[in-house]
Amino acid sequence: MIELSAKQLADAIARGDVSAAEAFETYRARAAADELNAYTWVAPEGTTAAPMSADAPLRGVPLGVKDLFCTEGVPSQAGSRILEGYLPPYTASVVQRLAEAGAPLLAKTNQDEFAMGSSNENSAYGPTRNPWDRERIPGGSSGGSAAAVAAGSAPWALGTDTGGSIRQPAAMCGIVGLKPTYGSVSRYGMIAFASSLDQGGPLTRDVTDAALLYGQMIGQDPCDSTSLAHPETIALPTAERLDGIRIGVPRADLAADGIEPGVIAAFDATLQRAQELGAELVDIELPHAEHALAAYYVIAPAEASSNLSRFDGVRYGLRHGGDEGLMAMYTHTRHDGFGDEVKRRILIGTYALSSGYYDAYYGRAQQVRTKIADDFRAAFGRVDLIATPTAPTTAFKLGEKTADPLSMYLGDLFTIPYSLAGLPAISIPCGLSDGLPVGFQLGGPAFSENRILDAAHALEQAIGFEPLEIS
């Protein structure tokens, strides 16, 4: 059973070859035995999934859920000490929706604290390890979800992506990760990091599974006023060719410092395959992409500094210094509850929004955001999709970048532009560099998920990437 993709498992359940209860218990036991620290909570033995209708499209294939999503009565700690033991009174809309569609909650997955990080080393519950090499990071911030799916202890998982947090760990663990169009998936019940950027999405073994799961995640939600109805039904991808598809390649951005030669080699080989499948490659320019990182590291911390003000030791979570008056209670609770990276971002965000600096930082960053969106609009007038590597490097060693936050941030240079523009992008595994997986990122215009998934499917078939052997 464990070698089946989620779609194949759903089909096997539908045929009656295996029961949903057997599938749940098999994966529950695997998740409970996980050695990668991929989980912060696993359904206890004897858990029976909530009843679902006989024609529930996902058939009972269990789901790993990033700990950033609130789940009623189940610890939801967002990788933070400040939420240790927190039991939400409600479940995130998308988790509820997927449970009703037949994907019951299997486990909560480890993550960087409040989704701030690219390595899972910022989790208060210890780092997750990469199943390809346990001395290495699985990427982040949805690193627990990525490691779990790659190691086969979950059939599929939910992640969230603010600046690359689905795509980058998917790349580092050799699986598929889709960051959807902003607004297509409800954010209700997702513990907020940067509200104008955060978006939930699937991490899966293959492109078909990503389409199957995403298709059940979308929909306008009365509880999230920024959510939108997707104009298309998400189809399972069937394309095997790319005839007539124009793929833009921003050559200038690929010449940036710090991109591993092995990553470029795997990327170029994949472009070659795309051409063989009939795609036309077009050189494009995204003139403001080089400024995306700077704009992002103003906008995301600014929004975070506001969102994280709710952690004040009053309504939930940790409280320290309660005997020394209200102000001391706030400041001590937040000092002891937040980790270093969260503190850094709160400080940057507060600084950027503070009197006298707002226009120079936040105002300008929002203008850069407009230019980045304009660049994409112009590019998508000429091409159907844009290709880049997902990340400039493969998975690095634990501890390698923790002393230099800026070098960690630079790893997001290919993923952040799509986040700022609210556009969808997928990462699929396209090869190995020194034995470690390399991600290939394909992005498109808003609501072009069907186009992206179809092209990714055609490439996936042609690449024939050998996933990690599941044992």
Partner 1 sequence: MIDREQVLHVARLARLQLTDDEVERMAGELSSILGHIETISGLDLDGVEPTSHVVEVSNALRPDVPRPSLDREVALSQAPARTADGFLVPSPQA
Question: If binding is defined by CB under 8 A, does position 79 make contact with partner 1?
Answer: no
Considering beta carbons, is residue 180 or 439 the nearer one to partner 1? Answer: 180
Stretch that binds partner 1, among 7-15, 248-256, 260-268, 358-366 (CB under 8 A): 358-366
Considering beta carbons, is residue 250 or 424 the nearer one to partner 1? Answer: 424
Looking only at the bridges linking them, the beta strands covering 156-161 and 63-66 are: parallel
Identified catalytic residue from 76, 80, 123, 141: 141
Name the nearest CA neighbour of 137 among 175, 179, 168: 168
Distance CA 320, CA 335 (A): 9
Identified catalytic residue from 145, 165, 186, 448: 165
Question: If binding is defined by CB under 8 A, does position 360 make contact with partner 1?
Answer: yes
Q: Which residue, chain included where needed, has tokens 């600084």?
A: 351
Retrieve residue 422's tokens.
């609210």
Question: If binding is defined by CB under 8 A, does position 371 make contact with partner 1?
Answer: yes
Considering beta carbons, is residue 156 or 297 the nearer one to partner 1? Answer: 297
Q: According to CB under 8 A, which residues from 380 to 419 bind partner 1?
A: 405-406, 409
Q: How far is the CB of 160 from partner 1 (least distance, A)?
A: 16
366, 402, 433, 461: which one binds partner 1 (CB under 8 A): 366
334, 401, 451, 457: which one binds partner 1 (CB under 8 A): 334
Q: How far is the CB of 132 from partner 1 (least distance, A)?
A: 30
Is 179 annotated as catalytic?
A: no
31, 203, 289, 329: which one binds partner 1 (CB under 8 A): 329
Q: According to CB under 8 A, which residues from 232 to 291 bind partner 1?
A: 288, 291
Contact mark string toward partner 1, 184..223, x via CB under 8 A:
------------x-------------------------x-
Stretch that binds partner 1, among 81-89, 122-130, 204-212, 245-253 (CB under 8 A): 81-89
Considering beta carbons, is residue 54 or 406 the nearer one to partner 1? Answer: 406
Distance CA 439, CA 392 (A): 9
Considering beta carbons, is residue 61 or 293 the nearer one to partner 1? Answer: 293
Question: If binding is defined by CB under 8 A, does position 229 make contact with partner 1?
Answer: no
Is 353 within 8 Å of 362 (Cβ atoms)?
yes
Question: If binding is defined by CB under 8 A, does position 431 make contact with partner 1?
Answer: no
Type of residue numbered 297 = Y
Is 59 within 8 Å of 104 (Cβ atoms)?
no
21, 126, 309, 382: which one binds partner 1 (CB under 8 A): 309
335, 377, 382, 397: which one binds partner 1 (CB under 8 A): 335
Is 165 annotated as catalytic?
A: yes
Q: According to CB under 8 A, which residues from 15 to 74 bind partner 1?
A: none
Q: How far is the CB of 247 from partner 1 (least distance, A)?
A: 23
Question: If binding is defined by CB under 8 A, does position 346 make contact with partner 1?
Answer: yes
Considering beta carbons, is residue 408 or 430 the nearer one to partner 1? Answer: 408
Active site members: 66, 141, 165
List residues near partner 1 by CB under 8 A: 86-87, 89-90, 182-183, 196, 222, 225-226, 228, 288, 291, 293-295, 297-298, 305, 309, 312-319, 322-332, 334-335, 338, 343-344, 346-348, 350-352, 354, 360-361, 363-371, 373, 405-406, 409, 420-422
